[in-house]
Structure 1
Amino acid sequence: MVAFIMSSFIFENSILENKLAFMIIHNLGEENSVLNQFILEIRDSQIQKDAMRFRRNIERIGEILCYEFSKELTYSPQNVETPLGNKAMSLSHDQVVICSILRAGLPLHQGLLNYLDAAENGFISAFRKHEGDDDDFEVIVDYFAAPSLEGKVLVLTDPMLATGRTLENVLLALKKSHGTPSAIHIISVIGSQQGISFIENIFPENTHLWIAAVDPELNSRGYIIPGIGDAGDLAYGQKL
């Protein structure tokens, strides 16, 4: 079992706070597209009561983000024989590993799998632990199962990029024994500006972040405002 425990989101104390940021951020919410409809529906407090529709919307957002992310893969020419002749096409031969954070990441993971037929898969358990009713919390990573990442394209999916501490701990866990990926892409649905600024100083140079919407702030308990609420509860029901 791997357990990385981090204190609450005290960004100013990060030992990496002075590291120059090289993350490449793709905020699809800045463009007008059908994506906006799906974001509206997962935010709407009435529509999101339909758990099946909520999961499907997260999945569809994952498909759109995956399509955009796929443009950054490496491609090479390949010929295909049709009934009437031959056609040269450019296809990607990158080995992709999708690692999703349980449980909220599952619908987003499926959205990527709908497009990346040959991708390998990893799953990581990460959760916040509040002591009583305090605002402070610890982020605990206590389980992950993933193939080797050596030389592969790592895609980390986490629908809500709030404080950024979960992604930091996941990166630490994967680094310990799973090899060095050739590239890292983070796929998120909604993030806070604070969380994005934090992970810019944590992830390697040229990491890509693909995100559907960026919100301005966090509340005292580290939840994105206006956000959507708890994505895991909305997708799969409340937990103890």
Structure 2
Amino acid sequence: MANLPDNVHVSQHPCLLAKLSQLRSQSTPPRDVKGLIHDIALILGCEALAKELSSTPGPTDVTPLGYEFQTHQLAPGSVSLVPILRSGLGMIEAIQTLLPNPVPVHHLGLYREPETLHPVEYYNNLPNHLTAGGGSGSGPSELAIVLDPVIATGGTCAAAIQTLREWGAKRIIVLSVLGAASGVKAAAAEWPAGVEIWLAGVDEELTDRGMLKPGLGDVGDRLFLTIGK
């Protein structure tokens, strides 16, 4: 995809592209929508984490045959998943499957105000969010992995990036199924030095309601059967 920032990566995996085409179709039933989002997140996560993470030598262990071997540990060691409610919930299980150990899941609730399309935060369970000291809970993660299936205007993604940066995350990876070119550029510009955005596909246009064109509809509505609410 031409003219995208260096910190934006669009997959060309043939299986992922085929699954994205299936997800776009209005005839795809809700059960298949859930499975396709999981599969796309899994493939995209494999590509992104292979490039963005590394491993370090760990302690030696012993195989069932009694031979010693060198273990490997994930680096960085402090990782968290940050799904954007609601639709980001559909990507959690895939990324949890990839990671070798359980990691915290911190939810952010953001929606676009219908008239202005500006993001509004309505829920945040980051531990010790924006506190300078005291209190209990975990500190910020070295790496936060944002799960947001669709980047439209980019406002919601940018707001999430800013929130995590203020929280103290050192690096952020955004995993998204589909993005609008203009919105992806806006989100990527929020913190170019600390953010990498990975997508399965990019659309060039937005409708006057801020929806991707051709897009894939409202992912949250398709996942949770709330179309026409």
User: Is contact 1:23-1:203 (8 Å) kept?
Assistant: no
Letter of the 2:85 partner, please give it: L
2:134 matched residue in structure 1: none
Gap runs ≥5 in structure 2: 128-137
Choose from 121, 125, 140 the match for 1:145. Answer: 125
Choose from 16, 37, 54 the match for 2:18. Answer: 37
Structure 2 residue 146 is matched with structure 1 residue 156: yes
Q: Distance in 2 between matches of 1:42 and 1:228?
A: 7
Q: Distance in 1 between matches of 2:141 and 2:225?
A: 37
User: Is contact 2:83-2:106 (8 Å) kept?
Assistant: yes
Structure 2 residue 149 is matched with structure 1 residue 170: no
User: Is contact 1:23-1:205 (8 Å) kept?
Assistant: no
Letter of the 2:121 partner, please give it: V
Q: CA RMSD in A?
A: 2.1
Structure 2 residue 206 is matched with structure 1 residue 224: no
Structure 2 residue 72 is matched with structure 1 residue 90: yes
2:170 matched residue in structure 1: 182
User: Is contact 1:99-1:156 (8 Å) kept?
Assistant: yes
Structure 2 residue 84 is matched with structure 1 residue 101: yes
Q: Distance in 1 between matches of 2:13 and 2:192?
A: 30
Q: Distance in 2 between matches of 1:184 and 1:173?
A: 11
Choose from 56, 59, 63 the match for 2:35. Answer: 56
SS of corresponding position for 1:130: coil
User: Given the superposition, is the C-alpha separation of residues 54 and 149 from structure 1 closer, same or farther in structure 2, using an over 3 Å criterion?
Assistant: farther
Map Cα deviations across residues 177-207 of structure 1 (whole Å, 9 max, x no partner): x3x2221101100011111111122124141
Letter of the 1:121 partner, please give it: V
2:102 matched residue in structure 1: 118
Gap runs ≥5 in structure 1: 1-20
Task: Compute the displacement of 1:102 (Å).
Answer: 0.6
Q: Distance in 2 between matches of 1:100 and 1:23?
A: 24
Structure 2 residue 182 is matched with structure 1 residue 198: no
Letter of the 1:46 partner, please give it: S
1:209 matched residue in structure 2: 197
SS of corresponding position for 1:52: helix
SS of corresponding position for 1:120: coil
Task: Compute the displacement of 1:60 (Å).
Answer: 1.3
Map Cα deviations across residues 150-179 of structure 1 (whole Å, 9 max, x no partner): 352111111001111001222333444x3x
Task: Compute the displacement of 1:81 (Å).
Answer: 1.5
| Higher RCO structure (Cα 8 Å, ≥6 apart) | 1
Question: Pairwise mapping of residues 5-84 of structure 1 onto structure 2 (< 5 A)?
Answer: 24-28=7-11, 31-47=12-28, 50-71=29-50, 72-78=52-58, 79-84=60-65
SS of corresponding position for 1:199: helix
SS of corresponding position for 1:90: strand
When the two structures are aligned, how many residues end up with a matched partner? Answer: 210
Q: Structure 1 vs Structure 2: percent identity of aligned residues?
A: 25
Q: Distance in 1 between matches of 2:73 and 2:39?
A: 23
2:135 matched residue in structure 1: none
Letter of the 1:88 partner, please give it: Q
User: Is contact 1:77-1:88 (8 Å) kept?
Assistant: yes
In the superposition, the TM-score normalised over structure 1's length comes to 0.80
Q: Distance in 2 between matches of 1:187 and 1:110?
A: 13
User: Given the superposition, is the C-alpha separation of residues 151 and 237 from structure 1 closer, same or farther in structure 2, using an over 3 Å criterion?
Assistant: closer
SS of corresponding position for 2:93: helix
